Amino acid sequence: MQIYLPIAEMPIGVLLILAMSAAVGFISGMFGIGGGFLMTPLLIFLGIPPPVAVATVTAQIAASSMTGTLSHWQKRQLDLKLASFLVVGGLVGTGLGVLAFNSIRRAGQLEAVITLSYLALFTVIGGMMLFESLKRLSMARAGSPVRFRRAGQHPRWLKLPFRVRFYRSRLYASSVPILLFSAIVGFIGAILGIGGGFIMVPALLYLFRVPTSVTVGTSQFQILITMTTATVLHAASSQSVDIVLAVLLIAGGVVGAQFGARAGRNLRGESFRLLLSLLLLAVGFRFASAAILKPEELFSITIQGQR
């Protein structure tokens, strides 16, 4: 059964999109990430134009993050104060990212930017997480104690002015790096059609040393607000949000996220980090192969125009 996508201007299988979005929603709920880092590449591989894929996936990310946020809110696994700071910076970055997205699209370099950005981000972040996870696992097997941050122990860059105490996250840190980092994540998310959770979750775990139980819910809340804003901005500025495709992605993603959130609560901290790092590296290698291997068609002609 196929349905025609009015903005993408192509037919697509309904069951395929539902199954794909459900699987990505499951991963999103399990790891506390938006899932766009998987869904956007998958849609592009299916032939969806990159501008439409990026803009439409933001709607699916927002919907999936809403269900995940509610689930973690009920379990009291969300630091609302920390999430509020992340949202403020994220909204600024999202607005700037949408402006950059439209500029890159007009220059005709959007697909190249997306491919190279995914390749760099996933291999670097996934590799760092994998190294750290394997190091902690080897120390645990050898009987060496794994040292965690004690209360009040923070790196120097968190001791800048305007420090704020986040009780649920056991964090007393400057708001400057928190706002700056969340703005960068929002900027990247708006350009690549990702929630930024694959960056936010590792950063909260390793840079800010937020407990794993709080990290997922806090990340989901930030993704919910920023991706809702990105959807509205993309729809208003470039008219690239395909509502038919968005509804299909949301229908599958919401169901999958519920089951993923339940599965994620059964994961131990080290297992969580290891699985997430392997997932990021797998996507990075997929983009590396796409950038290196010889394409089926060496030349193609497309007509680009403003909608």
pLDDT at 41: 78
What mean pLDDT is reported for the chain? 76
What is Dmax (Cα atoms) for the chain?
62
Gap between the Cα atoms of 6 and 12, Å rounded: 11
CA-angle at 161, arms to 156 and 163, nearest 5°: 85
The Cα angle at residue 18 between residues 278 and 6, in degrees rounded to 5: 115
Q: SS3 of 168, please?
A: coil
Model-level pTM?
A: 0.68
Given pLDDT bands bounded at 50, 70 and 90, which one contains residue 92? Answer: very high
- If phi over 0 gives left and psi between -120 and 50 gives alpha, with beta otherwise, what is residue 73? alpha
d(CA 265, CA 112): 37
- Looking at residues 81-106, what average pLDDT do you find? 87
Q: Which two tokens stand for residue 39?
A: 């869904």
Q: Does residue 270 surpass a pLDDT of 70?
A: no
- Which DSSP symbol is given to 144? P
Find the length of the chain: 307
Give CA 77 to chain center in angstroms: 19
The share of the chain scoring above pLDDT 70, in percent, equals 77
Rounded to the nearest 5°, which phi and psi values hold at 142?
A: -80, -5
Domain boundaries, the chain: 2-291
Residue 301 has pLDDT above 70, yes or no: no
Selected residue with higher pLDDT from 71 and 182: 182
- Calculate mean pLDDT across residues 138-143: 71
From the list 176, 179, 198, 201, the residue with the least C-alpha distance to 283 is 198
Q: What are phi and psi of 165, to 5 degrees?
A: -100, 125
